[in-house]
Amino acid sequence: MENEANGGIVLGHDKEISTLQEEISALRSRQRHLNRTRREALDKLIDLKGSIRVFCRVQPSISTSNIKIKSPVTVEQENIAVRAVGIKKDFSVDRVFDQESTQDDVFHEVRPILRSALDGHNVCILAFGQTGTGKTYTMEGTSDNLGLVPRAIQELFSHAAQDTSSTYSFSISMLEVYMGSLRDLLAPRQQPLFRSIEGNTTCNLSILATTSGSVQVEGLTDVTVPDLKKANQWYSRERRSRSTSWTNVNNVSSRSHCLTRITIRRCGGVTGQVSKLWLVDLGGSERLLKTGASGLIMDEGKAINLSLSALGDVIAALRRKRSHVPYRNSKLTQILSDSLGDGSKVVMVVHISPSKDDVGETICSLGFAKRARLIESSRELSEDLKMLKRKRLAELDKEICDAEQELGVLNAQIRSAERSVEERKKLCPSVCQALSDEKGSPRSILVAGHIDAADSPQATERAKSRMVHHGSVPHFMSATVCSRQRHGAASHSVSKPRLTKSVNTYSSKPSGSQSVSHSASKARSVAFSSGEPRLKYLSVKSDQINVNSNSIDSTVASTPRPRPRESLVSRPVQRAPLHQHRRRMSCLT
Ligand SMILES: Nc1ncnc2c1ncn2[C@@H]1O[C@H](COP(=O)(O)OP(=O)(O)OP(=O)(O)O)[C@@H](O)[C@H]1O
């Protein structure tokens, strides 16, 4: 009697499991459909807005006096007018962030392209502008007002946690481009971080382009970040690396471009995708115009201006859809070449000062923005077309919002159903154990055997229908010696859900991050296993971090190192103009 009761419980569980699995499969099918709808709507929205978008952010006036001086810069939602003696210039951008705008406002506008990065597109967010106008504030922010980089990292992890249709893994790299040389900011520091007087860096990486068009920075450290906490730790370490160099006269990071790369590996279904998110704090652009720089300072300024000009050429060529895009004209554009072109999404935030003293630089920066956009104010869309565009954008926005809302509900339903299945699967073995304790009962053995075979809903269905049709255990189904042995072996190995397996595959084989193709369509067809042996890959799973043969303790990521002092005395004359930057950057440490 007891046996029959237990058997009944198991069958009840079995039926519930199979019903739940059917439910999950229906939910997943709807999830796939919604994901497709959301992705398509997002692609259309970004295409309509433009895959290269230029924003302008006006720095708040930082004045100690109470006297309000009229700024030569006035802004509207998409227009900027600069008026000064003998100057009357108008510029248009995709969106203006005025002096009252918050970090939230900027992030809100950038957010859709982060989703695009998660969908498999390469994405590049650049902060451009005169020194001191808020590029680093926009990108890094402060502890109270997080900037784009920490918010983007947060967004990626938050989305990855919610999305039950795919598994994601992330890794982070950071480098500086200084006078045409590349410096790995996450490399283990065995040598002091300073440059020689000639301007050579202690760490000069080279850029390799693969035949598929993807770009690799040879030997660049790439750290797997399993969770938000680790990602933030590594990001803080990067920031310290950068600020350390700012205190060093011969290693002046204010004269460099700082690039953070987040590599996103996504697995949904049978295929995987790899995409890159570049977050770039470009070097300040004004020094040569304003200061009578000489020597190394002048060379640094020239290097920055040259690479910024090369970047402008590249963006302008892309906007014009030219067949030749001059990526090779600078290291900066070479590194970013697979994230600026076809299939990629670019956002450039041009920073300007509202001050009268900076009118010259403001016009230069806005001229750069204009060149990148290649849209003259006079050739703006007509009001009718603008209205149509706004209407379509609102429709697409709503489509995305609706899909995301439903996806949120679906994700919760799938998770809850999967939990229920797991709970029922856990309950069954104990009942089976109780049944197998009742010796010599062929039915008990059958039920246990059936649970092992119930991994797939089809198997469950088959077995269920047999039970229904025969009412009792058919003779040919009673367990043999072999099946009992199999059952014994199987009960030791718990079958893992597919999603967990995918995660393991990624984290255990991370070395392909550099070797994948750059465009979304190409990336889709690339397997992760195509690793690049020369890439350094740090695993932060354990407390030990390995970079090839070097092994360092992970506390390195959070322990500030003493700053090298050797070069502080080497060129004292050059320290004066950089005083402001050093003070600002040292605030970050
Ligand atoms: N929107 C803003 N809101 C509040 N403070 C700001 C804003 N923009 C800039 N600042 C402040 O202005 C100062 C200079 O900004 P920041 O260091 O970000 O400039 P930058 O363009 O990165 O300069 P550099 O080219 O030297 O790196 C900082 O103290 C920063 O906090």
Q: What is the percentage of the chain residues whose pLDDT exceeds 70? A: 59
Instruction: Check the annotation: does 389 bind a ligand.
Output: no
Note the pLDDT of residue 579.
40
Note the pLDDT of residue 524.
30
165 falls in which pLDDT band (50, 70, 90)? Answer: confident
Ligand 1 centroid, distance to 133 Cα (angstroms): 5
286 falls in which pLDDT band (50, 70, 90)? Answer: low
Q: Is 245 in the pocket of ligand 1 (CB under 6 A)?
A: no
Is the pLDDT score of 2 beyond 60? no
Which range, of 82-96, 285-299, 327-341, averages the lowest pLDDT?
Answer: 285-299
pLDDT tens digits for range 464-489: 343 334 333 333 334 444 444 544 44
Note the pLDDT of residue 501.
30
Please give the residue that has the higher pLDDT: either 49 or 26: 26
DSSP codes, 190-255: -S-----TT---S----EEE-TTS-EEETT-EEEEE-SHHHHHHHHHHHHHHHHHHHTSTTS-GGG
Instruction: Check the annotation: does 343 bind a ligand.
Output: no
- Looking at the CA of residue 129, tell me the nearest atom of ligand 1: 21
Identity of the amino acid at 63: S
Note the pLDDT of residue 516.
29
Ligand 1 centroid, distance to 43 Cα (angstroms): 32
H or E element that contains 312:
helix 295-319
Identity of the amino acid at 288: L
254 falls in which pLDDT band (50, 70, 90)? Answer: low
Q: Is 284 in the pocket of ligand 1 (CB under 6 A)?
A: yes
Ligand 1 centroid, distance to 531 Cα (angstroms): 39
Question: What's the mean pLDDT when you consider all of the chain?
Answer: 68
Task: Tell me how far apart the alpha carbons of residues 384 and 412 are, in angstroms, rounded to a whole number.
Answer: 42
Please give the residue that has the higher pLDDT: either 113 or 204: 113
Which range, of 26-35, 335-344, 372-381, 561-570, averages the lowest pLDDT?
Answer: 561-570
Closest to 259 measured CA to CA, from 207, 152, 352, 182: 182
pLDDT tens digits for range 531-564: 333 334 333 333 333 333 332 333 334 444 443 3
Q: Is 136 in the pocket of ligand 1 (CB under 6 A)?
A: yes
Instruction: Check the annotation: does 180 bind a ligand.
Output: no
Average pLDDT (100-119) is 91
Residue nearest to atom 14 of ligand 1 (CA): 132
Residue nearest to atom 29 of ligand 1 (CA): 584
Alpha-carbon separation of residue 295 from 1, 246, 299, 300, 573 (angstroms): 96, 18, 6, 9, 11
Helix (H, G, I), strand (E, B) or coil at 414: helix
Alpha-carbon separation of residue 287 from 179, 294, 370, 567 (angstroms): 15, 11, 21, 22
Instruction: Check the annotation: does 136 bind a ligand.
Output: yes
pLDDT tens digits for range 318-350: 877 778 889 988 889 999 988 887 778 889 999
Note the pLDDT of residue 565.
33
Q: Which of 584, 585, 586 to mutate to test the pocket of ligand 1 (most atoms within 8 A of CB)?
A: 584
Token duo for residue 533: 């042996």
- Percent helix, strand, coil in the chain (nearest 5)? 50, 15, 30
CATH fold of 52-191+203-288+306-388+521-539+552-586 reads: Kinesin (3.40.850)
Note the pLDDT of residue 443.
37
